[in-house]
Amino acid sequence: MDPLPSAPPHPELALVPCPTALSARPGRYRLDDTTRLHVTPGTEQAADLLRAYLEPATGLPLKHADDGSFVLILDPTLTGLAEEGYALTVSDDQVLLRAAHPTGLLRGVQTIRQLLPHEALSAPVHRIELPGVEITDVPAHPWRGMLLDVSRHFQPVSYLRRFVDLLALHKLNVLHLHLTDDQGWRMPVAAYPRLTEIGGRRARSMVGPAGSEHFDGRPHEGSYTRADLTGLVSYATARGVTVVPEIGTPGHVRAALAAYPELGNHPDRRLDVWTHWGVCTNVLGVGDHVLDFFRTVLDEVMDVFPSPYVHIGGDEVPTQEWEASPAAIARAAREGLSGPRELHGWFLARMADHVVRSGRRPVAWAEDGSTLPPTCTVMSWRTPRHAWAAARRGHDVIHADHRSTYFDYARAPGPAEPPAQPGHALDLRSVYGVDLTPPAAEPRLAGQVLGVQGQLWTEFVPTPEHIEYLTYPRLCALAERAWATTEDWPDFRTRLDGHLARLTALGVPHDILPDRRAHPSPV
């Protein structure tokens, strides 16, 4: 176990993630009733977000004035900071936030938010001062994400907004919303209302791990309206967070099959929305009507979510139904495939092609990536070895190694932890150790790494409180590795100790458990 470091000498500067370059400056900037924002052209979105955070904390109106001392500037000469970088200077008489792109200003606003007295994150503070500081900051990776599974346990959109706000605080920029699965369909599709009317409700939920055969006897239901989701997108966009939707195909579709049996390999069979955990053997059929159905679904998804990326699923697709289906066998033969097993990659290619023709980029899970169409960005959930194999085949890669990023794993072994996915424990040190470094002989592969993402599957996670218990402070470690270019565990732990006061003020649970140095064996 690592010894816990002492408190940082300047807790105000215990920023998470660590800025690229930071130096303390003499002096402090005081916000009072004379403070005015100087909002220059192109900085209006950042100014609105800044006011949304500062006005409740200070009680000050923070109006615009051309001679205001709190200055926001878009500076096209700062090209070295790329899209998300920013420069922040705080002195006695001025706060100056600059960036080459509006998104960089949004990242700088989150740094200012962290520089506030931590009490101001939850309640008005009479005297607000920002410490003198000089910061230049650029992220190491463009994809810094977190998946939230709302299919297994539905969460209201009001909580999703809080979830987004906490991601933004830690400079994560992607909320991957897992909207459909065997146990629930949460995405409204106007052409197919039964997807949510029937697919959005299951009769009960399994208690314990997959195969336990114990159930709670309580119905679970929920779905979003189009207005819910477009409102969430707007809220996230204002904070520099992209909401990436996932519609799982051609497996993890039992809820869709319950609503529309004709989509399956046995159209006359009536299925319920699955009440078990684990991998369901029911998969989509491969007729043209199924492809057309899901093209319509994806059209609605892309109309609601402007994200450049759309996730089409692709993981854990049993092929038994295809191997026993005359229609699937015939389809494989017509397409020139060696057998029905190859329908997995064929189906995903049809969905990926539709996404590409719509001007978007498809993302898919990959056990090994070899069956994915070349247009797909690979989200690699097994081991780094699988990620680098996909990169060699030319795919862009998002690291989602379950041994470092699956937050549904318990935070420590033993009965003291609440129910979690069995088989692994994932401590803070293991999250910090997520491996984004390509093999030494192949440094060129680093250019195909978009970034890293955490995953919170919710079979065992029914409430927002449980979500946050599992997410924090592990998300802080993930955010650090996604943003920072250097690896320094002792420094991170020191800063994290100072950062915990912010989480406390925001009502986020964050107990730090002893770190286990040994990783689970790779799959």
Asked if 262 is an active-site residue, the reply is: no
How many other CB atoms sit within 10 Å of the CB of residue 324?
12
Asked if 316 is an active-site residue, the reply is: yes
From 360, 337, 220, select the one nearest 286 (Cα to Cα). 337
3-state secondary structure 188-244: CCCCCCHHHHCCCEECCCECCCCCCCCECCCCEECCCCHHHHHHHHHHHHHCCCEEE
The whole-angstrom separation of Cα 147 and Cα 363 is 13
The one-letter amino acid at 393: R
Burial zone of 9 (CB within 10 Å; 0-12 exposed, 13-18 middle, 19+ buried): exposed
| 3-state secondary structure (DSSP) of residue 325 | coil
C-alpha 220: how far from chain center: 24
Question: Which spans in 21-126 are helix H?
Answer: 44-58, 102-115
The whole-angstrom separation of Cα 21 and Cα 138 is 9
Asked if 2 is an active-site residue, the reply is: no
Enumerate the β-bridge partners of residue 129.
30
The whole-angstrom separation of Cα 453 and Cα 402 is 10
Cα-based torsion angle of the residue sequence 377, 381, 383, 387 in order, rounded to the nearest 10 degrees: 0
* Cis omega (within 30 of 0) for bond into 3: no
| Catalytic residue of the set 84, 181, 246, 459 | 181
The one-letter amino acid at 488: D
Give CA separation, 123 vs 57, 95, 160, in Å.
6, 22, 21
| Catalytic residue of the set 221, 316, 323, 435 | 316
| Catalytic residue of the set 141, 220, 252, 395 | 252
Residues labelled as active-site residues: 181, 252, 316
